[in-house]
Each structure stands twice: as C-alpha cells, then as structure tokens.
Structure 1
Amino acid sequence: MTKHPTRTRRAQALREMLENDIATGRYPAGSRLDEVTLANRFEVSRTPIREALIELSVAGLVEIRPRRGSFVRDIGIARLIEMFEVMADLEASCGRLAARRITSVELARLKAAHEACNEAQRGGDPDAYFRANQTFHETIYAASHNGFLAEQALHLQNRLKVYRRLQLRVPNRVSNSLAEHDQIVGAIAAGDAAAAAEAMRQHVLIQGERFNDFVASVAAHRQETSAEQINAAE
C-alpha cells in the first residue's frame, strides 16, 4: 500500500528535526527516543514519529532495539575515522566524474552553492553554512551522473552529518573549507578530473592536525552534552 504523501512529508520533516536535534546535542549518543514523549512534543500521533525513527535507523543515526525502544547510536572514534576514509574516496570519485561530465547548468548550481557558503561565512551563520555546504556536495554527487555512486555518497553523508557539523566548530575550519571549495570548483570547471578527485579527497579526509582537532571536538561535544544532562537532572 502506498503511503499518503502528507504523512510521508510529515515523517520527513520530523526526521529532519530529530536529525538536527541529534547533531546539536539535544539528544546525545545513548539517549532513548521515546515515541510518546516525542509525539507530545511535536503534537502529532506516534505513527509519523515511528516512521521518522525508522528512517533515522536506516541512516545509521538511531538503533531500534526490540522491546526496548529507539536510542541514538554511539559511534566510536576509530569507526568514525574509517567512515570518513570511505567518504573521502566516494567523494573523490564523484569529483573525478563530475569534472568529466558536469553540464553548464550543474556548474552554475555548484558555483551558486559555493557563493551561498561564502555568504553564510560572511554572515557568521554556521547553520546556513552547513546547509549550503550540503548542497555544494550533493550537486557534485549529481554531476557525477552515476546514480549508484551518488546514492552511496549521500547515504554515508547522512550517517556522518552529525560529525560533519561538529567539524565546523573547529577554529578556522569554515574558512579553510571555503578555500578547499575554491580548488574543487576550479578543478571541476577546468575539467581536470585528477585534480578534482584529489581536492575532494583532501577536503573530506581527516588526517594530521585535522585528526587531532576532530577528536578534540567530538570529545568536547560529548562532555558538554553529559554536563547538560547532569544539570537537567539536578
């Protein structure tokens, strides 16, 4: 039976709000996502909440445990680094193919997304930057004109969304990210597949000082959310 489009949109909107709550630490790793509590909070029935949680489970952000409920998944640092390594290779492949296959319309969209990132950075709006950055990357996925590759890249991007947002908290990361975007756009516009692939790989890969900064950012985030939970309980 086909889902009603209104209900599907409602579940999608709820999924995005819960995803953002996980990303910003409202629901830290290990938190139980109670359907009744969430239904009361969003003033909806439990059905769209349940559908949203299932979608988050498919994305790897939530673990649904039989007879126990849904919990925010905790991913260890070592596992995260492995996931970013795979993400770097997927995005490198997207960049390489995009440099060979991008259309003029897609290139205009890519440049517009890059400019939106610049505007968000100038305005000091990290949430706007995060959204524009997502559009930037997804435009490159689409420009690869390889549907399977784009699906895999988007799936892993969604799994890492919480932690990619955390990366932007690291000092100077946004300005460095913009400089890397310049290199990526230039390589793709020039049709330089090798340069585009390497620029995308280095943009995503966590290594050297970026590794240390990332680990520190994740640790600080977890400490903050733990402290908030303790304060709320007192």
Structure 2
Amino acid sequence: MPPKKEKTATELIRSTLAEQIVRGEIAPGVILEEASLARRFSVSRTPVREAIRQLEAIGFVVARPHRGAVVPQFTPERLTEMFDVMAELEAMCARLAATASSPEAKDRLVNACEVCRKAADDGDIELYRETNDLFHDAIYAASGNGFLAEVTVGVRNRLAPFRRAQFGHSGRIVQSIEEHALITEAIVNGEAEVAAQRAADHLRVVRKSVGAVAPLLQSPEG
C-alpha cells in the first residue's frame, strides 16, 4: 500500500475549491479573489495564485486580466460530452492492454487493483482516490501506446474534480472496486472487446454518480 500523499497548500486549496465548484457551493460567476482566499486558508497569496492557475488549466476558472478569475458555467450536456470522450479513451487503453501488454504489465495492473481494494477496505476515501488514479495509470501503461496514455491523462485531468466527487455518493467505492475487478479480469484474460466495453461502462457510471452528488450536473437523460 503506497503511503498517503501529503497535500501542499496549493493542492489543498485547489482540491477544496474544485469540489465546492462541482457541488455548486461556489456558483458560476463568482470571482475568486486572492486576498480573501488567502485569509480563508491562512496562507500567503502565492499558493492561492498557483491553485487558481491550476484550476484555470483544467477549465474550472476563467482568467480575466485585471479583474480576477471567475467560475464558469458547467452544463450537464457539456459534462456528458467530456465523459463520453473519456469513456472512449479508456476503452481504447483497455482494449490495447488486453492484446498488447506484457505479463509483467498485467501483474502490475492486478496489483494496482488490489491496492485499491485495500484502501476501500480500510475506509480511506482520500487514499482510495489516489490509488484509483494509480489503477487507471496501470491500464494506460499496459496499453503500450504512450501518446494515447498522454492524451487520456490530459482529459482525465480536466475531469479529475468530477471523478473525485463521485466518491461522496454512498456505496460508490464498493461499486467502483467491483468494476475495476471486471476490467482487470478481461484484460488479464486477453478479452479485448470485453475489456473495452467494461472500461467505457465504468466511466459512464462515474458520470451518473457525479449527478448524484451534484444534482445541477445530473445528466439530461436522468
């Protein structure tokens, strides 16, 4: 089990603001003022400024010269589009992992799946969030396609706050572990299309779970 990563001030500010934006606690149109945030988190403006810059990089704030950064409007339709793309990328990674990965890569994937399960068994949500990323990283690496892995991580970073928020939904971690196990089984057995379908389905369940914790972002189909 990897040790839990200690968050820097910037990471804490970024993750806190991102989760509040996802949940609607910080509404669209709100200006993120460095001075007030620095007071709130009891830090200097430097980590606040860096946190805002990182949020801007994933589309969670829009920078406006000399007027501060503002929270944009997220729509359910836009979020669904993003998750649909993520689902296809994950499916491609899983398909390639099932056909192209080495026995060693598959062993690393199995181990990553077990590490996730251990974090879940311990009831450590924050550690599970970290090990969940490591599990998906193992799939990307097993695909053997570095460019695909790079693109997939880029889209994942855009969706990271939403993916993290899903674990606030009751029972989601247990369900996530079961989905990981099914994906791992298909990859280890070389069942490319099964692995791809399970990986895509996994991301679409994540999308629905976001709607459960952030009703304003519930998917249009319910």
TM tier, shorter chain?
Answer: 0.7 to 0.9
- Pick aligned residue for 1:219 from 203, 215, 222: 215
Q: 1:1-234 counterparts in 2 under 5 A?
A: 13-25=8-20, 28-30=26-28, 31-39=30-38, 41=41, 43-44=43-44, 46=46, 49-206=48-205, 211=208, 214-219=210-215
- The aligned amino acid for 2:144 is H
- The aligned amino acid for 1:32 is I
Three-state SS of the structure 1 residue aligned to 2:20 is coil
Three-state SS of the structure 1 residue aligned to 2:168 is coil
Q: CA offset at residue 102 of structure 1? A: 2.1
Most deviating of 17-26 and 152-161: 17-26
Specify whether residues 84 and 101 from structure 1 end up closer, same or farther in structure 2 by C-alpha distance, changes over 3 A only: same
5+ long unaligned stretches in structure 1: 1-11, 222-234
Specify whether residues 154 and 55 from structure 1 end up closer, same or farther in structure 2 by C-alpha distance, changes over 3 A only: same
Instruction: Report the Cα distance in structure 2 between the residues aligned to 1:181 and 1:32, rounded to whole angstroms.
Output: 38
Q: CA offset at residue 197 of structure 1? A: 0.7
The list of structure 1 runs, each at least 4 consecutive aligned residues, that deviate by more than 6 angstroms after superposition, is none
Three-state SS of the structure 2 residue aligned to 1:205 is helix
Most deviating of 100-109 and 182-191: 100-109
Q: Name the % identity.
A: 38
Instruction: Report the Cα distance in structure 1 between the residues aligned to 2:27 and 2:187, rounded to whole angstroms.
Output: 38
Instruction: Report the Cα distance in structure 2 between the residues aligned to 1:133 and 1:69, rounded to whole angstroms.
Output: 34
Instruction: Report the Cα distance in structure 2 between the residues aligned to 1:164 and 1:123, rounded to whole angstroms.
Output: 20
Three-state SS of the structure 1 residue aligned to 2:62 is strand
- The aligned amino acid for 2:19 is T
Q: CA offset at residue 13 of structure 1? A: 4.2
Most deviating of 101-110 and 89-98: 101-110
Q: CA offset at residue 185 of structure 1? A: 0.8
- Preserved contact between residue 23 and residue 161 of structure 1 (Cα < 8 Å): no
- Preserved contact between residue 57 and residue 63 of structure 1 (Cα < 8 Å): yes
How far does the alpha carbon of each residue in 1:27-79 deviate from its partner, in whole angstroms, 9 at most, with x for none?
Answer: 73434332334456464453x54344323212222221222112344311111
Three-state SS of the structure 2 residue aligned to 1:168 is helix
Give RMSD over aligned pairs: 2.8
- The aligned amino acid for 1:215 is G
Three-state SS of the structure 1 residue aligned to 2:186 is helix
What's the counterpart of residue 9 of structure 1?
none
What's the counterpart of residue 232 of structure 1?
none
- The aligned amino acid for 1:67 is H
Most deviating of 31-40 and 144-153: 31-40
TM-score between both structures, scaled by the size of structure 2: 0.79
What's the counterpart of residue 226 of structure 1?
none
Would you say how many aligned residue pairs link Structure 1 and Structure 2?
207
TM-score between both structures, scaled by the size of structure 1: 0.76
How far does the alpha carbon of each residue in 1:2-40 deviate from its partner, in whole angstroms, 9 at most, with x for none?
Answer: xxxxxxxxxx94543233213432873434332334456
Instruction: Report the Cα distance in structure 1 between the residues aligned to 2:115 and 2:213, rounded to whole angstroms.
Output: 25
